[in-house]
Amino acid sequence: KQEVTQIPAALSVPEGENLVLNCSFTDSAIYNLQWFRQDPGKGLTSLLLIQSSQREQTSGRLNASLDKSSGRSTLYIAASQPGDSATYLCAVSDRGSNSGYALNFGKGTSLLVTP
Amino acid sequence: NAGVMQNPRHLVRRRGQEARLRCSPMKGHSHVYWYRQLPEEGLKFMVYLQKENIIDESGMPKERFSAEFPKEGPSILRIQQVVRGDSAAYFCASAQGRSYEQYFGPGTRLTVT
């Protein structure tokens, strides 16, 4: 059974800092990995999707890497801003599972960027 | 192109009542997933449906929960005889196909009093 872990659970940084969020998963036979952002009381916004054959994806100030063999992904946020404050969720989709590629989520990293 | 829509956004039910949660997928999407987010817990997969078919319900509680995705209309997640432990945020996601990217709705927050 796939287990997804995110470290740290919470993070507080001053505005302008670069930061790294970590995600690990136990079964390397994944189909893809997604990073989401969730604001309090809101839905999920997809940030980056990395297919299993890819090593990284970039969007603006965000860069996500994937090391399937070691079961790890990192989300790098450059020049953080107060508007980046949210919970960041990592989710992996297992290849070939009966659940039609349902996502297995970590519990998230709660990020606070202070002005 | 409208995104995934869920209604109601907030739902309050007393213990023993029924809750019906609706999910309208994005245009052109025929695959729907339901997830539940309990307080202080991560999102957990519940059920995966295609039009008129339940493909995988391995994450659904065995009793009181059911889901459907009819040929016409939204997908429905139905919870009978709700209990306090059912209080959670319920999210649906839609996709073009089995292995395609999933797009999430805003969720329905169910409170059982």
**How many interface pairs between A and B have CB atoms less than 8 angstroms apart?**
64
* Mean pLDDT of the B76-92 span: 97
On average, the pLDDT of chain A sits at 92
Residue A25 scores a pLDDT above 80:
yes
pLDDT band at B101 (very low <50, low <70, confident <90, very high): confident
The residue in chain A having the minimum alpha-carbon distance to the alpha carbon of residue B92 is A43
Of B90, B94, B64, nearest to B4 (Cα)? B94
Asked if B109 reaches chain A (Cβ–Cβ under 8 Å), the answer is yes
Give chain B positions within 8 Å (CB) of A107.
41-42
pLDDT band at A98 (very low <50, low <70, confident <90, very high): low
Residue A65 scores a pLDDT above 60:
yes
Of B102, B98, B99, nearest to A89 (Cα)? B102
> Which two tokens mark A59?
């969007």
Would you state the pLDDT for residue B98? 74
> Which two tokens mark A21?
């969020």
In terms of Cβ atoms closer than 10 Å to its own Cβ (0-12, 13-18, 19+), residue B102 is: buried
* B49-68: pLDDT as tens digits: 999 899 889 899 989 999 99
User: Position of tokens 């309090």?
Assistant: A40
* Mean pLDDT of the A44-53 span: 92
Residue A97 scores a pLDDT above 80:
no
Q: φ and ψ at B55, to 5 degrees?
A: -90, -40
